[in-house]
Structure 1
Amino acid sequence: MDLAAREREIQQVGFSIIEEIFTNQEIEAILAAINKTDSTKETFRKSEDLFAIRQFLKEIPDTIDLIFNDKLKKIIRKVFGKDYFLVKSIYFDKPETSNWFVSYHQDLTISVNQKAEIPGFGPYTNKHNQFAVQPPLDILENNFTIRIHLDETNEQNGALKVISNSHCKGIYRPENIDWNIEKELSCNVARGSVMIMKPLLLHSSGRTTNNQKRRVIHLEFSNQILPKELQWAEYLDLDS
C-alpha cells in the first residue's frame, strides 16, 4: 500500500480508493452490531428509500474498535497526520429497491453543539436537534471523509459520482458546472474497501437499479480547533 501516492492522489484529484481494509469477518461483525440496535431513536431515520443512523459511533459504540482496525488507523496517521480526530459519523443503508438519489453538491457544513453568532460561521441549520453550520473555507479544506463500504458498490446501486479536482475550486455551485471542461467519474468500491475524499469534492449518487444493497459508514475528520463558543457535535480521539 503506497500511502504517499494515496496522499498525492487525494490532494490532486480529491479522492482515493484503498482496497481490502476490512475482512469479510470484520464487516459481518460490524453489521451484527448494527442489526441488534434499537432503531426507534431520534437519531435514526427510516424510510422506504433510506435507513440512516446519525452520530453512529455514539449510538453503537461497539463498532468503534471494529472500525478503527490497524489498517485504517495507519492510513489516517500516515496520509493526514496524528493530530486528526473524528468529528462526524453516519451509517447509510440504501435498500435494494431504493429510488433515493442525491444531486451534485459539496459537503459545506460541519456538525456542532449549538448555534453561536461568530464571524465566518453561518448559516446554521437545526435538524433532529442537531446543529450544522457552514464554517470558514480553510476548515473544510483541511477536513477529510472516509467512506467504509459494507457492500460491493457500483453504478447500479448508488456508487458516488464525482468531478475530479473540483475540491480545489473553493465553493463550486452545481449550477455552475461546465460540462465542457469537467469530467464525471464513478467511484466503484469493493466490499471491505474505503473511499477517502475531500468535503469540497463535488459528488452525487444515483438510484439503485440492480436490487443490491449499498451500506456505507461515513466518517469525517478534522484537526481544526473551533472558536471557544462552539464544540464539535461528535469528537473521538483515535488514540484514546
Structure 2
Amino acid sequence: MRGTKDLLEEYWRRGHCRVRSFFSKRDLEDLRAEADCLLEESPERGGARNALLRSETLRNLSASSPLAELASQALGAPARAVKLTVFDKNPAANWKVPFHQDLTITVRERKEVEGFGPWSVKGGVVNVQPPVSVLEALVALRLHLDDTGSDNGALRVIDGSHRLGRLGGLELSELVAASTVEICTAEAGDVLLMSPLLVHASSPAASPTRRRVLHFEYTARNLPGGLDWN
C-alpha cells in the first residue's frame, strides 16, 4: 500500500483517493452479512439509511477500526463517524445518480441556527443543509464490499471540484460540461476517501452484479447553536 502521507496529499489535492486492500477477505465476509441484514430490513430499494443507529457491529467498526484513524488523519484531528449509509446496486435496484455534491447532514433535532437550511425529514431523521464550512470538515470513507468496475456503477468524479465550494445548478452543469470525468473503480476491501463537496455521479450498471458499499461520514468538529449530530 502507498504511504499514508502520499494518499492524504492526493485526497487533499483531488478530493478523493483509493486505499487498496484496507480490509481482509475474512473481515469482508462478516461485513457483507451485516450489510445484507440491514438491506433486508430497509424499506428502500438498494440502500439502508441511518445504519449507525441500527447496527451495533457497524457502530463499533466505525469507532475502533483503522477507519477512524484514517479519517482522523484526513481531517487533522480526532474524528468520529456521524452517518452511515449502506448502498447495494444490484439487478433489482440499478439506479442512475446525476452529478451532484453531498450537501446534507443528519442532526438529532431541528433548531434554528443561522446558515442551516433547508430542512427535511427522511426515515424519521432530521436532515439539513449546513454551511460550507461544516461540509469542508467532513470526509466520507466508502468501504467496498464487492468489486466495483466501470461496468457496474462505479463512482464518476470531477477531480478537484471539492475546492469550488457549494455549486449552484448552472455552475454544476457548466463544470460537468467542461470537465474530464474520472471513474473510481475499486476492489472488495478497498476504501475510497471522498470529500462531500466533490462533484460525483453514478451510472446504471451495464453488468448489474452486486455493488455493496458502506458509506461512512466522519467529522472532527461539533455543530454550533446547540445542534447535535444524529
- Call closer, same or farther: CA 1:143–1:35 in 2, change over 3 Å: closer
The answer on whether the counterparts of 1:30 and 1:67 sit within 8 Å (CA) in structure 2 is no
Tell me by how many angstroms 1:125 deviates: 1.1
User: Offset at 1:179?
Assistant: 4.8
Q: Which has the higher helix share?
A: 2
Q: What does the per-residue CA deviation read over 1:120-159, in whole Å, with 9 as the maximum and x for residues that have no partner?
A: 1111111221111111111111211000000110121110
Q: Which residue of 2 aligns with 1:23?
A: 24
2:113, 2:225 within 8 Å by CA — same for their partners in 1? Answer: no
CA displacement at 1:67 relative to structure 2: 5.7
3-state SS of the aligned residue for 2:76?
coil
Q: Quick one: which of 98, 101, 104 aligns to 1:106?
A: 101
Alignment of 1:141-180 (within 5 A): 141-176=136-171, 177-179=174-176
The residue identity in structure 2 corresponding to 1:200 is L
**TM-aligned CA distance change 1:168 to 1:37, over 3 Å:** closer
CA distance in 2, matches of 1:156, 1:28: 23
Matches within 5 A, 1:212-231: 212-231=209-228
* CA contact 1:105–1:174 (8 Å) conserved in 2: no
Aligned AA (2:82)? V
Aligned residue type for 1:169: L
- SS of the equivalent of 1:45 reads coil
CA distance in 2, matches of 1:116, 1:73: 28
Structure 2 counterpart of 1:85, from 75, 80, 89:
80
Query: CA RMSD of the aligned region, Å?
Result: 2.0
C-alpha spacing 1:214/1:113, structure 2 compared with 1 (3 Å): same
- Identity across matched positions, percent: 30
Q: Normalising by the residue count of structure 2, what TM-score does the alignment of the two structures yield? A: 0.90
Change (3 A) 1:226 1:151: same
Q: Tell me the distance in 1 between the aligned counterparts of 2:213 and 2:109.
A: 27
Displacement, 1:227?
2.0
How far is 1:79 from its partner?
A: 3.2
Q: Over residues 92-130 of structure 1, what are the superposed CA-to-partner deviations in whole Å (9 max), with x where a residue is unaligned?
A: 111135331100000111111122211111111112211
Residue 96 to residue 75, structure 1, CA distance change in 2 (3 Å):
same
> Where in structure 1 do 4 or more consecutive aligned residues deviate above 6 Å?
none
Residue 115 of structure 1: aligned partner: 110
Q: Distance in 2 between matches of 1:84 and 1:29?
A: 24
- When residues 134 and 37 of structure 1 are mapped into structure 2, their CA distance, relative to the original with a 3 A threshold, is closer
Code of the aligned partner of 1:229:
G
Letter in 2 for 1:222: T
Which segments of 5 or more consecutive residues in structure 2 lack a partner in the other structure?
none
Q: Write the distance in 2 (CA, Å) between the matches of 1:38 and 1:205.
A: 20
Q: After superposition, where does 1:201-240 map in structure 2 within 5 Å?
A: 201-233=198-230
Task: Please tell me whether the aligned partners of residues 63 and 80 of structure 2 are also in contact (alpha carbons under 8 angstroms).
Answer: no
